[in-house]
Chains A and B, each alone.
Chain A
Amino acid sequence: MIYNLALTLVQQPEVLERVLRVVRHRGFKVTTLDMQLAANGTTQVDMVVESERALELLSHQLNKLIDVTECKVLSAEQLSTKLTTRLSTRQIQPASALNA
């Protein structure tokens, strides 16, 4: 099954490692991943994961992580719209803006 997740994380250097470790260990495979540091001090991660297991086995474990403040399940359309909007926004930014 394919699941679409939108995570809000506390900005910590290791937070992406924490999330990806749980995804792998609980039996899910990341097929798409997008991460962005937000101005409000959070990190936004949108990802598509694949597994034969029920989504709750992952979402509950992600919610237990101290630095995960929100774990939302999106429909494929919602995630696709979100990613497309974000990617198109990025394409018009110069490289210097991304590195700022």
Chain B
Amino acid sequence: MEIGPQIRGADAVIKVLAAHGVTTVFGYPGGAIMPIYDALYGAPVEHLLSRHEQGAAFAAVGYARASGKTGVCFATSGPGATNLVTALADALLDSVPLVAITGQVSTAVIGTDAFQEIDVLGMSLSCTKHSFMVTDIDELVPTLYRAFEIAASGRPGPVLVDIPKDIQIAMLDYKTPLLGLMAEPQADASQLAAARVLLAKSSKPMLYVGGGVGMAGAVEQLRNFIDVTGIPSVATLKGLGSITHDSEGYLGMLGMHGGKAANIAVQECDLLIVVGARFDDRVTGRLATFAEHAKVLHLDIDVAELGKLRRPDVAIAGDLRQILPAIAQPMAIAPWLAEIAGLKAQHQWNYDRPGELIFAPKMLNSLANKLPEDSVIACDVGQHQMWVAQHMWFRRPEDHLSSAGLGTMGFGLPAAIGAKVARPDACVVAVSGDGSFMMNVQELTTVKRRQIPLKILLIDNQKLGMVKQWQQLFFEERFSETDLSDNPDFVTMASAFDIPGRTITHSVEVDAALDEMLNTQGPFLLHVRIDEAHNVWPLVPPGACNRDMMDEMEKQT
């Protein structure tokens, strides 16, 4: 056991980060975390100053999702900690490994409503995988080690460590703790055999691939499984990038804004193989009619997902890297593959649009085709997010960052900052909407401060587009509070942060403008005005079966 000289708790925090290979943390200082910021001064761990704690936490999420490493963020007590909550919840729903370290008022005054005191441990219960408040200096280092272990193990998630100020300045003997490895579920042979029997009996199997594949580092195993079995596939929002986009039986995203071919194929299949996915309502539509004739084989690291919403015929909890190769076998499914090929040909996207205005789906498809191999797209939330999912393509799941489970507007810009820090050689583009962009627009200062060369593609319909679309379809066109025509002049605003940019409004300008954005050294904002009448199609209405998708023509009749 390594024993060092006595150091402050705050210095031990930085030492634990360094021991875990953390080179960058994201945060914002304040009173109760000052000793930790003092320890950071001159330390080998780089700190990226955000301009709001939510921005710091989303940058840590973007860093984690783009790199596969655990993201780390700092905030002070009270408002600093409460500002982290949205990003912690986002990381919980999207299973992102994150360690959030918050300063707390000194132990002697906890519970006295001290200045900037709030019960952070209590607040953390519903938005973290686990949380700690350190009240004993000897527990500080073991607790931080445990936090990193919990964040990254099993189904990953956010862990919060609340550290009172007196603990930060207390002295300790730094010892590297010895932790027992956390037990992971192991697939047993009988379950694997049962899965192979299900596969052998199926003539119309379908893979439903979720974010768990990327989180498990099982992309190669999944692609090999597809090569061996030939089983056609669909992906969730978080699963995009797991399957090679141009592979033969791949039908893209399923669900509320999925492709028609994807949704029909899932309804038609006789065996649904669910890999690292969780039957989210945005995926299934009306649950009772989702793949209603199919048997279900559910594979996930999290036992609690198995049978949560749909009873599986065979369920295997364990590491997808081991399960997928263990059940792969050649399949005789030629007639089904012909049916899939027919569906795919019948439901190709059509990018021909009359008129001079910019058609965002076509622009995003062009962007995908122009991006260099090492690229990351960080999305915001709304119509543009669904267009990105439908019309762009990704080489790896870590190249597509999108707030899927929580659907947090304001995710895109800070997540892109974190991604660019994690992968400095990658081309990082934040695709945002005029509603979402304003939710964490203060992070443009972070871009300016560090001259982070990320690109911002701002798709502007002067509307809170997705809500407006639902008002149009389901609320009798009563457009309550969705008009954003009083947006600021975005290019002028960007210039105030030393970020060059331009505005385009016509489809003929798109190609040159995308090239200019991608070829500019340093950050760039491309502001794209689109027709506010454009909506996201197709769409499964709320509560409907996935087979009953609306498309644009139906809306007009």
Measured CB to CB, the residues of A under 8 A from B are 14, 17-18, 21, 25, 56-57, 60-61, 63-66
Most buried by B among A14, A17, A21, A57: A14
Task: Report the nearest B residue to A65, measured CB to CB.
Answer: B130
Task: Report the nearest A residue to B130, measured CB to CB.
Answer: A66
Q: Report chain B residues within 8 Å CB of A66.
A: 129-130, 150
Query: What are 14 pairs between A and B in contact, CB < 8 Å?
Result: A14-B121, A14-B122, A14-B125, A14-B133, A17-B122, A17-B125, A25-B126, A57-B308, A60-B303, A60-B308, A63-B303, A63-B304, A64-B303, A66-B130
Please determine whether B304 and A21 come into contact, CB atoms closer than 8 angstroms: no
Q: Report chain A residues within 8 Å CB of B122.
A: 14, 17
Most buried by B among A56, A64, A65: A64
Q: Report chain A residues within 8 Å CB of B130.
A: 65-66
For the complex, give the distance between the alpha carbons of A17 and B303 in Å.
23
For the complex, give the distance between the alpha carbons of A64 and B304 in Å.
8
For the complex, give the distance between the alpha carbons of A60 and B301 in Å.
13
Let me know if B44 is at the binding interface, CB within 8 A: no
A21 in complex: contacting residue of B126, B129, B133, CB < 8 Å: B126
Expressed in whole angstroms, the minimum distance between the Cβ of A21 and any Cβ of chain B is: 5
B302-317 to A contact mask, C-beta < 8 Å, 1/0: 1110011000000000
Task: Report the nearest A residue to B135, measured CB to CB.
Answer: A13
Expressed in whole angstroms, the minimum distance between the Cβ of B436 and any Cβ of chain A is: 28
Q: Report chain B residues within 8 Å CB of A57.
A: 308
For the complex, give the distance between the alpha carbons of A25 and B122 in Å.
15
Task: Report the nearest A residue to B119, measured CB to CB.
Answer: A14
Q: Report chain A residues within 8 Å CB of B150.
A: 66
Given contacts A14-B122, A17-B125, 5 further A-B contacts (CB under 8 A): A14-B121, A56-B307, A57-B308, A63-B303, A64-B304
Q: Report chain B residues within 8 Å CB of A61.
A: 304
Expressed in whole angstroms, the minimum distance between the Cβ of B546 and any Cβ of chain A is: 24
Q: Report chain B residues within 8 Å CB of A21.
A: 125-126
B91-125 to A contact mask, C-beta < 8 Å, 1/0: 00000000000000000000000000000011001
Task: Report the nearest B residue to A61, measured CB to CB.
Answer: B304
A interface: dominant SS: helix
Task: Report the nearest B residue to A66, measured CB to CB.
Answer: B130
Q: Restricting to B147-181, which residues have a CB under 8 Å from any CB of A? A: 150
Task: Report the nearest B residue to A62, measured CB to CB.
Answer: B304
For the complex, give the distance between the alpha carbons of A21 and B127 in Å.
11
Please determine whether A60 and B304 come into contact, CB atoms closer than 8 angstroms: yes
For the complex, give the distance between the alpha carbons of A95 and B378 in Å.
61
Q: Report chain A residues within 8 Å CB of B307.
A: 56
Most buried by A among B121, B125, B133: B125
Expressed in whole angstroms, the minimum distance between the Cβ of A81 and any Cβ of chain B is: 30
Expressed in whole angstroms, the minimum distance between the Cβ of B143 and any Cβ of chain A is: 11
Task: Report the nearest A residue to B154, measured CB to CB.
Answer: A64
For the complex, give the distance between the alpha carbons of A35 and B302 in Å.
28
For the complex, give the distance between the alpha carbons of A17 and B129 in Å.
14
6 closest A-B pairs by CB: A60-B304, A66-B130, A21-B125, A64-B304, A61-B304, A60-B303
For the complex, give the distance between the alpha carbons of A14 and B122 in Å.
8
B130-152 to A contact mask, C-beta < 8 Å, 1/0: 10010000000000000000100
For the complex, give the distance between the alpha carbons of A25 and B133 in Å.
23
For the complex, give the distance between the alpha carbons of A65 and B303 in Å.
12
Task: Report the nearest A residue to B305, measured CB to CB.
Answer: A60
Q: Report chain B residues within 8 Å CB of A25.
A: 126
Expressed in whole angstroms, the minimum distance between the Cβ of B494 and any Cβ of chain A is: 42
Expressed in whole angstroms, the minimum distance between the Cβ of A94 and any Cβ of chain B is: 30
B274-311 to A contact mask, C-beta < 8 Å, 1/0: 00000000000000000000000000001110011000
For the complex, give the distance between the alpha carbons of A59 and B44 in Å.
44
Task: Report the nearest A residue to B155, measured CB to CB.
Answer: A64
Expressed in whole angstroms, the minimum distance between the Cβ of A7 and any Cβ of chain B is: 16
For the complex, give the distance between the alpha carbons of A19 and B184 in Å.
22
For the complex, give the distance between the alpha carbons of A44 and B5 in Å.
40
Q: Report chain A residues within 8 Å CB of B126.
A: 21, 25
Expressed in whole angstroms, the minimum distance between the Cβ of B164 and any Cβ of chain A is: 14
Q: Report chain A residues within 8 Å CB of B129.
A: 66
Expressed in whole angstroms, the minimum distance between the Cβ of A73 and any Cβ of chain B is: 15
Expressed in whole angstroms, the minimum distance between the Cβ of A86 and any Cβ of chain B is: 27
Q: Report chain A residues within 8 Å CB of B308.
A: 57, 60
Q: Report chain B residues within 8 Å CB of A14.
A: 121-122, 125, 133
For the complex, give the distance between the alpha carbons of A90 and B150 in Å.
38
For the complex, give the distance between the alpha carbons of A25 and B130 in Å.
16
Q: Restricting to B401-426, which residues have a CB under 8 Å from any CB of A? A: none
Q: Report chain B residues within 8 Å CB of A63.
A: 303-304
Expressed in whole angstroms, the minimum distance between the Cβ of B123 and any Cβ of chain A is: 11
B67-83 to A contact mask, C-beta < 8 Å, 1/0: 00000000000000000
Please determine whether B302 and A64 come into contact, CB atoms closer than 8 angstroms: yes
Q: Report chain B residues within 8 Å CB of A17.
A: 122, 125
For the complex, give the distance between the alpha carbons of A14 and B123 in Å.
11
For the complex, give the distance between the alpha carbons of A25 and B121 in Å.
18
For the complex, give the distance between the alpha carbons of A65 and B159 in Å.
12
Q: Report chain A residues within 8 Å CB of B302.
A: 64
